[in-house]
């Protein structure tokens, strides 16, 4: 089957998946002969210990305070929306999360023994696709996690940026700009993951010559995205060609020697069309006092 057909099948599967999640269903538990099973494609309720996170899940950051709040809600109302799982590869009777890890973690904190699940018997590739799409649609991923998820599909399954745009329902420019965030220094990416920097700030920092320095200014001064865009284009942020030092003429060198002899210090004269400067170098406070005494005299 062609890659295009695979993309279309994913789109249909995702639409069906979202439809099932939006439709209220009564969780059901199925047990038999001491082995717990669950119905494929229907909402079921299983032991929470049978569910484990997916190591390929693009989501890595979980805010502890938000998890605590969600756990309190789960204690009061239960897990309202099923998490999405698949049969765990190589582990009969166990399940691996596709989406809903935050709800699963909160349910564990709340001390729940069972959790509602929606089971999808999909392969690794489709599981990753569904995890990314579901998280992007719910805005559960920070920008760096979103970019890392896209990069996984590119590296492992040879997706093009156009493929990604079609699968996740975003523009190609959105995909390209998001992927560029992975070029930022690690310290800047850490600020994005923590929420200290917004995705807008991050995208503006991509074009800066010193993204780390500008990121620190954002945190220190509360700069807006427009401020960053302006500063990123300022001459101070742009790489400059190394200055070629002009050779001093004989007269300047002679003046340097004369002033050096008069002060007892090393003297440098820099002269240009708009004036210049005289630099007297000293090593100790006593030498500085001597310079001042001679100038006053």
**How would you classify residue 278: left for phi > 0, otherwise alpha for psi between -120 and 50, otherwise beta?**
beta
CATH of 3-144, one of 1.10.600.10, 3.90.1530.10, 3.40.50.300, 1.10.3210.10: 3.90.1530.10
Q: What is the CA 266 to chain-centroid distance, rounded?
A: 51
pLDDT higher at 223 or 29? 223
For residue 59, pLDDT beyond 50: yes
Query: d(Cα 89, Cα 47) in Å, to the nearest integer?
Result: 18
Active site residue 229: no
118: confidence class by pLDDT, cuts 50, 70, 90: very high
Using only C-alpha atoms, the chain has a radius of gyration, in whole angstroms, of 31
167-182 average pLDDT score? 89
* Mean of pLDDT values over 39-46: 70
What average pLDDT does range 279-285 have in this prediction? 77
Decide if pLDDT at 27 tops 70.
Answer: no
Tokens read off for 260: 């050096």
- Alpha-carbon gap, residue 256 to 269, rounded angstroms: 6
Q: Strands (DSSP E) along the chain, which ranges? A: 30-32, 35-37, 43-47, 51-52, 83-87, 95-99, 114-119, 266-272, 275-281
Residue of 101, 134, 145, 146 with catalytic role: 101
Q: Which pLDDT score, from 0 to 100, does residue 51 have? A: 95
Q: What percent of the chain is modeled with pLDDT above 90? A: 25
Structure confidence by residue, pLDDT tens digits, 213-244:
999 999 999 999 998 888 887 755 544 444 44
Highest mean pLDDT of the ranges 36-45, 149-158, 255-264, 283-292 = 149-158
* pLDDT category of residue 111 using cuts at 50, 70 and 90: very high
pLDDT band at 52 (very low <50, low <70, confident <90, very high): very high
Report the alpha-carbon distance of residue 228 to residue 208 in Å, rounded: 8
pLDDT band at 246; cut points 50, 70, 90: low
Q: What is the mean pLDDT of residues 33-42?
A: 49
Helix and strand numbers (H, E) in the chain are: 13, 9
Residue limits of CATH 3.90.1530.10 in the chain: 3-144
pLDDT at 67: 86
Q: What is the pLDDT, as a whole number, of residue 48?
A: 95
Contacts of 17 by beta carbon, 8 Å cutoff, 6+ apart: 84, 118, 120, 130, 134
End-to-end CA distance of the chain: 94
């Amino acid at each position: 089957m062609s890659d295009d057909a695979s993309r279309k099948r994913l789109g249909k599967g995702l639409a069906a998946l979202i439809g099932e999640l939006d439709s209220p269903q009564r969780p059901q538990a199925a047990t038999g002969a001491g082995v717990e099973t669950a119905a494929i494609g229907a909402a079921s309720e299983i032991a929470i210990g049978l569910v484990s996170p997916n190591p390929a899940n693009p989501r890595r950051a979980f805010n502890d305070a938000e998890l605590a709040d969600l756990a309190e809600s789960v204690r009061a109302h239960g897990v309202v929306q099923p998490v999405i799982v698949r049969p765990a590869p190589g582990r009969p009777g166990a399940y691996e999360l596709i989406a809903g890890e935050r709800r699963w973690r909160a349910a564990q904190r709340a001390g729940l023994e069972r959790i509602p699940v929606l089971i999808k018997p999909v392969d690794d590739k489709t599981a990753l696709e569904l995890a990314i799409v579901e998280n992007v649609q719910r805005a559960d991923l920070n920008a760096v996690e979103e970019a890392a998820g896209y990069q996984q599909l590119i590296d492992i399954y040879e997706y093009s940026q156009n493929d990604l745009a079609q699968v996740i329902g975003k523009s190609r420019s959105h995909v390209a700009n998001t992927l560029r965030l992975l070029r930022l220094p690690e310290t800047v990416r850490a600020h994005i993951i923590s929420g200290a920097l917004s995705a807008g700030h991050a995208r503006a920092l991509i074009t800066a010559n010193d993204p780390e320095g500008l990121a620190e200014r954002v945190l220190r001064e509360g700069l807006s995205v427009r401020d960053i865009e302006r500063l990123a284009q300022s001459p101070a942020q742009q790489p400059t060609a190394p200055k070629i030092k002009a050779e001093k003429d004989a007269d300047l060198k002679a003046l340097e020697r004369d002033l050096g002899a008069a002060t007892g210090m090393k003297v440098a004269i820099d002269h240009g069309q708009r004036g210049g400067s005289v630099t007297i170098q000293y090593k100790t406070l006593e030498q500085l006092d001597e310079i001042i005494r001679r100038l006053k005299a």
